[in-house]
Amino acid sequence: MSRRSPHHHFTRRAFLTATAAAALYPRAANAAPHAEDIRRAVGAPAAGIAFQRQGQVTLSVAGKRAIGHETAVSEDDLWHLGSLTKSMTAVLAARLVEQGVISFNDTIGQRLNGVAKPLRAVTLEQLLHHRGGLAANAPPKAAIKLQGLEGTTAAPELRRQYLATVLEDAVLPAGAFLYSNAGYVAAAAMMEAATGRTWEDMIGEEVFAPLNLATPGFGPPGASTNAPDQPWGHTKSGEVIAFPPVKTSDNILALNSAGRVHMSLADFLTYLTAHAQRAPILKPESWAKLHKPVADASASYAMGWVSPSDAVRMHSGSNTIWFATGGFNTKGDAIAIVTNIGNGANLPGPVEQPALDFLTGV
């Protein structure tokens, strides 16, 4: 089976670009499409959608786990969420800030060694807003090298080696917007330095467990590379190509905190609803801080969320073989849409637009 080389999926597109196109699906106002609508519009082997409005939950899935296999997706299947992981890392940071073990004003230079002078004063808060001036990613050659160390080197050490390639100098002045996976790696490393715990342990204990999320994991979901026991990711270049769950079917492990979480569709919706309804795992003022964007001519970005309007927060994630969108509004509504293809027809519009329509009441 054809597989991508590591640098191909390293340079992923994982930033929301919500379109202003007209609604793509005939439906009643305040409704949302079925999973089959999404699947057909994108050309994915499978898709899922879950949403809740005023506490009423609707969930549907459609399609096959992998092209060339007959196993249908189930409501309990796992989906790769890509950069929707970023908001989870931000929630973890807020939990640790409330516990007094780190501050949003802590700088990279205070917490990490080997930081170039132009970056030493960059704060945790700036990293979570993509305004730290760090490069978007480590060089592809460094990523390929780090992927070869997976399985023999612990995740925190992989993060430190990753950061050694991006903390040598600033790319932009601090305060300017530059969407940066590396910034979220640095944020995780700062939290690890402050606590002596791994990001993986902390995200489980401080975010997933308090929200009763039972299914989260890291990397491509599933274990079988023959018959799919979970959905596989896909690309489309002429034909649709499936990618079984091997490490080269995802970004490198060092990017866990930036974009490698997977979970069930129901858990994904639960997570989004926690934001929508400001669950008691954080104080209201902490939720408000996470959701407040820094806005200027270049972007309006909160901590892990794009702000298409005052009432809506959304984000999308992709490692180029999966695509997911999640969002919520100030009314307490939430929506999750997932697909197991990363470059289907007209992406991201057929996924992002119905989510935006739902949240704005179109």
Q: What's the CA gap between 288 and 72, in Å, rounded? A: 40
> How do strand 300-301 and strand 233-237 relate by DSSP bridges?
unpaired
Query: In this predicted structure, what is the pLDDT of residue 238?
Result: 85
Using pLDDT thresholds of 50, 70 and 90, give the confidence band for residue 2. very low
Q: What's the CA gap between 293 and 300, in Å, rounded? A: 6
- Look up residue 200 and give its two tokens: 């993986």
303 has pLDDT over 80:
yes
- Look up residue 165 and give its two tokens: 């390639």
Mean pLDDT of 250-279: 98
The number of CA neighbours under 13 Å toward the Cβ of 252 is 33
Q: Please give the share of the chain, as a percent, with pLDDT higher than 90.
A: 87
Encode pLDDT of 10-51 as tens digits.
Answer: 233 333 333 222 223 333 335 678 999 999 999 999 999 999
Encode pLDDT of 204-262 as tens digits.
Answer: 999 999 999 999 999 999 999 999 999 999 999 889 999 999 999 999 999 999 999 99
The beta-strand segments (E) located in the chain are 46-53, 56-63, 78-80, 217-218, 233-237, 239-243, 261-264, 294-295, 300-301, 306-309, 312-317, 323-329, 334-339
Mean pLDDT estimate for the chain = 91
- Look up residue 89 and give its two tokens: 């890392």
Query: Which CATH architecture best describes the domain 6-360?
Result: 3-Layer(aba) Sandwich (3.40)
Encode pLDDT of 123-150 as tens digits.
Answer: 999 999 999 999 999 999 999 999 999 9
Query: Taking a C-beta distance cutoff of 8 angstroms, is the pair 57, 51 a contact?
Result: yes
- Look up residue 59 and give its two tokens: 């969930």
302 has pLDDT over 80:
yes
- Look up residue 23 and give its two tokens: 């609604």
Nearest Cα neighbor of 222 from 203, 249, 197, 199 is 249
- Look up residue 187 and give its two tokens: 């944020």
Nearest Cα neighbor of 48 from 345, 349, 339 is 339
Encode pLDDT of 162-184 as tens digits.
Answer: 999 999 999 999 999 999 999 99
- List of residues 6+ apart from 329 with CB closer than 8 A: 276, 311, 312, 313, 359, 360
User: For 240, phi and psi rounded to 5 degrees?
Assistant: -85, 130
Q: Please give the share of the chain, as a percent, with pLDDT higher than 70.
A: 91
Max intra-chain CA distance, the chain: 56
Query: In this predicted structure, what is the pLDDT of residue 237?
Result: 85
Full-model pTM: 0.92
Query: In this predicted structure, what is the pLDDT of residue 362?
Result: 65
Query: Taking a C-beta distance cutoff of 8 angstroms, is the pair 321, 9 a contact?
Result: yes
Encode pLDDT of 45-57 as tens digits.
Answer: 999 999 999 999 9
